[in-house]
Amino acid sequence: MFEHLTAQKPDGILMLMQMYREDPREAKVDLGVGVYKDATGNTPVMRAIKAAEQKLWEVQDTKSYVGLAGAPDFNDAMVNLVLGNTVPRSSVNSVATPGGTGAVRQAFELIRMANADARIFVSNPTWPNHLSILDYLGMEKFMYRYFDDETRGVDFDGMIADLKTAKKGDVILLHGCCHNPTGANLTGPQWDEVIKVLNDTGATPMIDIAYQGFGDGLDADAAGTRAVAAAVPECLIAASCSKNFGIYRERTGILMLVANGTDKAIAQGTLNFLNRQNYSFPPDHGARLVTMILNDDALRTDWMAELEEMRTGMLDLRERLAKELEQRSGSNRFGFIAQHRGMFSRLGAAPELVVKMREDSGIYMVGDSRMNIAGLNAETVPVLADAIVKAGV
């Protein structure tokens, strides 16, 4: 029977990683894959994670199953981290999931269970996995305008006009912060306008927050998510710990269903059911480390300090790059790079220029010209600036 399988579309980013590895040139710059890197190109294990792992090794005396929804103290700690004190806990239901991707997948399945005809409004562009999971699940998607190719900021008028066509029973998927792949984000007043559209249309928001702490800080990055959760009758939040705790391979995430009008036993029970059907108990190792860090003053302080170093380091790289480009181009047209937030910026270069930069200068960025800013360091910023100007972007 397996002879009937057909080839799957190759993953563009994984192909790019392969090309980078096979490129024999010394001077090459990897801005492709979406993991944080320090100035030496390493993706570090954060200090607080190391300390928590050591402690865990000493105190953990069983690896037996935890709970279907995950460990309650993990869920509580994450609900606090993402939502602060904006929403009454009685309205929050949650399950731990394998990474943010697991949370996104479970959220889509939950939506399909509740309304098989729901249309999912996704930003154009969005994280490609949103699209491929929706296609795989056979769910209808509607791309709303988001990125303005001219300004490299948010096309907010276009976005609002498109969101207004949503109706009750539809879902509007928003990036909580640090939009992937563009780096262009909503301002506070823009979040308020989106909330108004949500309430006017009755559409349900789903927020994917995978980079809390990478943009403007832990609380600032969650502000839009918190404002939405506090202002609408129901919403879904998919959060990832992969980036802000640097535990990519531990697969740690959480799905929250904030619902006021829903029977709590049914809401929580359905989340548990979905976990049971898909993978039964969610992974615990990463979740345990996150819980230990968030619930211990010293570990939490150190984690926040290191996260802040990472965040400000990326901001510094953004500013340097924008400045180098201003000097070389004699214009301020690359100023958007310093305005964007998070790990990514969409440069807005045509696909043939992306290829040209790779071939001529060894710069590896995703085909849509998404650059991982964390892939730069003080030495490679001028190299990239040269390549961008040389290619005629």
Catalytic residue set:
127, 208, 210, 243
Residue 129 or 295 having the CB closest to ligand PLP: 129
Residue 36 or 191 having the CB closest to ligand PLP: 36
Structure tokens at 165: 């066509």
Residue 146 or 334 having the CB closest to ligand PLP: 146
Taking CB under 6 A as the criterion, the residue among 93, 123, 180, 185 binding ligand PLP is: 180
Chain length of the chain: 393
Taking CB under 6 A as the criterion, the residue among 142, 248, 273, 279 binding ligand PLP is: 248
Q: Would you count residue 240 as binding ligand PLP (CB under 6 A)? A: yes
E runs forming strands in 119-251: 119-124, 140-145, 171-175, 204-209, 234-240
- Beta-carbon contacts of residue 350 (< 8 Å; ≥ 6 apart): 369
Q: Which of residues 149-178 bind ligand PLP (CB under 6 A)?
A: 175
Residue 166 or 207 having the CB closest to ligand PLP: 207
Residue 261 burial (10 A CB sphere; 0-12, 13-18, 19+): exposed
Taking CB under 6 A as the criterion, the residue among 68, 87, 210, 232 binding ligand PLP is: 210
Q: Would you count residue 99 as binding ligand PLP (CB under 6 A)? A: yes
Q: Would you count residue 253 as binding ligand PLP (CB under 6 A)? A: yes
Q: For residue 20, give the nearest of 344, 353, 345, 362 by alpha carbon.
A: 362
Binding region for ligand PLP (CB under 6 A) out of 37-45, 96-104, 228-236, 351-359: 96-104
Strands 140-145 and 363-364: unpaired
* Residue type for position 308: E
Q: Would you count residue 34 as binding ligand PLP (CB under 6 A)? A: yes
Q: For residue 351, give the nearest of 10, 7, 9, 12 by alpha carbon.
A: 12
Q: Would you count residue 147 as binding ligand PLP (CB under 6 A)? A: no
Q: Would you count residue 208 as binding ligand PLP (CB under 6 A)? A: yes
Min dist. Cβ of residue 378 to ligand PLP (A): 26
Taking CB under 6 A as the criterion, the residue among 91, 182, 225, 242 binding ligand PLP is: 242
The region, left, alpha or beta by phi > 0 then psi within -120 to 50, assigned to residue 125 is beta
Q: For the chain, give the longest Cα–Cα distance.
A: 63
Q: Would you count residue 100 as binding ligand PLP (CB under 6 A)? A: yes
Cβ 248 vs Cβ 144: under 8 Å: no
Cβ 225 vs Cβ 175: under 8 Å: no
* Site map 358..377 versus ligand PLP, x via CB under 6 A: --------------------
Binding site for ligand PLP (CB under 6 A): 34, 99-101, 104, 127, 175, 180, 208, 210, 240, 242, 248, 253
